Amino acid sequence: MEDSRPARRTRGAVWGKALLVVAAGLVVGLAVAFHWFGWTSIPGNACGGRFSPCPEGTTPTILLAFLCTFAGTILVNWRVAELTRVRPGKALPAVLVVTGMVLALWPGWETYAWMRGPVLDRAWVAPVDRPGTVKGVGNWALDSSVVRARTDGLTSYDLADGHEHWSLDAPVRGSACAMSDTVVDGIGVIAFGREDEPCDTVWGVDTTSGRKLWERKIKGDAGFGPPTDGRVAADSGVAVALEDTSVRGFALRAGVPRWKLDLGEGCSPVVASAAAGRTRVVVQCMSGSAFRSLQLVSLDTSTGTHVRRTALPAESRWEAVMVLSARPFALWLKEKDDRGTDAVLAFGDQDRLRGSVKVSGREEDLRMTVDTGQGFDARPALRAVVVGDVLVTAATKPGEAVPGSVSGYGLGGGRRLWHADAGGPVTALTRLPGNRLAVLAGGRIGSLDPRTGHLAEGPLIREGTDDVAEGTQLVPGRDGDWLLVNPDGTGVTPPLLRVSR
């Protein structure tokens, strides 16, 4: 009787060597997958360095790709040679190698996704702005929409799909030059001015319907022609507007004049902020061409009643004044004098100066805004947020131009509390529920604890990074989605971009 054991042993050897060929093909498949995932993850085909870092997971993926390439080549040649000794032929080894490569796609993707971390992809992009001469000057972020102000008017976009809810044209030959930092009872305040003329036409706008509720002419200051923040405000049923030498209050819904506060001879308002029934106005007083004082004037928003005047630490004219927070009240003041004040000033409820934070110090410089003309000039998207008694701001090391870190300063004492590397250029900061902040840096949106400076790594914007401008505004959406609103929406970047998981 013929012994069948040698045949069974031969078949077993063939099957064992065939499985090893499949395993070798799997390594080659991993190499192909890692090469594809790694090289295609690089934005613009170039990355690396402090201010243009490669996406998370790119470097280890490419290293694994080369490792699997070399190992897979050796293993395939070895295992195919072993198989053909017991099972001659070329077709079977080729089929087995391809089978292994196909089987490698799923584990390759899962491994890459684990190394890369969570990502955000482009959900929709709003159509580019037309005509090409317009520019975004500010935004109002609402519950289900974003109202974007351009020099030629207002447009409301649906957060869900980016479709336009409504649009409202600016006055003939008028350009948007100021807007309130908040929307109160569904009403926003925006001002317009003509070329080389003051910002002198104020509107109240229903942000739900896009209807202009009222229009008032004011005596604007000729020194504030370009888009400027802090020239109008809204609070407690009142629209506040700054004139050349006075402050005006109008009924927010009807536009009826409510009050007017004259600031005195030689005095003119610079910026205003209104919150919780109190309006604060930075006022500069001159004697002819000579500087006299900078003051913080407080008044009751409802009645316009003057409450108090507080001298600001300045001995020369202002160069930059910007309100960083209405409650608690904090503003950035920079004098014309290079040796003068250049600091964030924090005030108590009675407008008493509590502390200051120098903008330029030994360790770093604070980068709270982008350069003029690159951001939203009428309502800037600041890279600084006040949370409680902490100022959180983007910062640069001495000699650097692009902020790559964030720092927290105590407003009471002006001392730096913590410093955190952001992992890339800091593009935007925005406040989240629960006193946390979102930081957009290096194409990744992280979550920051302003008390400790702990920056938790968040999702990477995989598709759409090139559509984010330097002065973009970051708006949190629903279910982990984000909206990015750009100042320039004429083609280089879109006006709005939504990214989602």
User: Cβ atoms within 10 A of the Cβ of 4, count?
Assistant: 8
Structure tokens at 475: 């708006």
Amino acid letter for position 426? V
d(Cα 270, Cα 245) in Å, to the nearest integer? 10
d(Cα 336, Cα 374) in Å, to the nearest integer? 22
pLDDT of residue 57: 80
353-358 and 342-347 strand pairing:
antiparallel
pLDDT of residue 1: 44
**pTM confidence score:** 0.83
pLDDT of residue 239: 98
Structure tokens at 374: 């690159």
Q: Which residues of the chain have pLDDT under 50?
A: 1, 7
pLDDT of residue 226: 59
d(Cα 253, Cα 214) in Å, to the nearest integer? 8
Per residue, the 3-state secondary structure of 189-239, as one string, reads EEEEECCCCCEEEEEEEECCCCCEEEEEECCCCCCCCCCCCCCEEEECCEE
Distances (CA, A) of 305 to 240, 253, 295: 13, 21, 17
pLDDT of residue 47: 67
Distances (CA, A) of 245 to 199, 223, 250, 324, 399: 14, 12, 17, 24, 40
Identify whether the C-beta of residue 180 lies closer than 8 Å to the C-beta of residue 239.
Answer: yes
Contacts of 6 (CB under 8 A, 6+ apart): none
User: Cβ atoms within 10 A of the Cβ of 11, count?
Assistant: 12
